Structure 1
Amino acid sequence: MVQDITIKITDREGVIHQVQAPTDMNLNLMEVIRMYELAEEGTIGICGGMALCASCQCYVLNDVLKTERNDDEEAMLSEAYHVKENSRLGCQIPITTAIDGLEIELAPE
């Protein structure tokens, strides 16, 4: 059964968007942000989701996401700007039913 989840995303201008994301398309959070055009074209997902650019960095605002950063994500964030303890790369967060209700804020460009 196809199930959409709800994610609350605060864009770089501070506008909050509540979006529906399908769990049956093998998407990640960065792709959902691009799908809804919540960041200016060419400013998010520059590397195509390979954890090589940190353009999809976001701040996790609630405790829904239970996974930890992987090694590639840690390495990229160690070189990125505006990194906080709750920073994650959107390309490394798969869209699954486990993250229904996730709240994030896009990091500055």
Structure 2
Amino acid sequence: MAKITYITFDGTVYDIEARNGTTVMENAVRNAVPGIEAECGGACACATCHVYVDEAWVERTGEPQPMEEDMLDFASDVQPNSRLSCQIRVSDALDGLVVRIPASQG
């Protein structure tokens, strides 16, 4: 289990206990975190689960794969630390992960 902190565009904080092997997106949807729509259900076929990974966690979450990079082209306000939360798998190494949800998804 890992604790993930989601911060919405208005500063509301959601601390979620996430099972290993699930995705950051799945846990947001399961816990009704606003701003994570996940219209494609986690198939990396939309950009409605776009998040900003806190700078301290960028290395541990890794770089986007080419398919994810292509889908990020459809997201608003993309930054160097942008990721699709459906592509970040939860593990013990991500215990304490902090992600922010863009205002454009609020």
What's the TM-score, normalizing by structure 2? 0.87
The answer to whether the 8 A contact 1:12-1:39 is kept is no
Query: Following TM superposition, by how much is the alpha carbon of 1:51 offset from its aligned partner in structure 2, in angstroms?
Result: 1.1
Matched, 1:17 2:14: yes
Q: Which residue of 2 aligns with 1:39?
A: 34
Structure 1 residues not aligned, in runs of 5+: none
Identity, % of aligned pairs?
A: 30
The answer to whether the 8 A contact 1:57-1:88 is kept is yes
Matched, 1:70 2:71: no
Structure 2 residues not aligned, in runs of 5+: none
Q: Which amino acid aligns with 1:14?
A: G
Structure 1: 4+ residue segments shifted above 6 A: none
Match of 2:48 among 55, 66, 79: 55
Match of 2:87 among 74, 79, 92: 92
Distance across 1 between alignment mates of 2:32 and 2:3: 16
Q: Which residue of 2 aligns with 1:8?
A: 5
User: Cα deviations across residues 22-75 of structure 1 (Å, max 9, x unaligned)?
Assistant: 11xx310100001110126xx611011111111000001132342110111100
Give the number of the structure whose alpha-carbon radius of gyration is greater. 1
In the alignment of these two chains, the number of paired residues is 102
Higher helix share: 2
The answer to whether the 8 A contact 2:7-2:100 is kept is yes
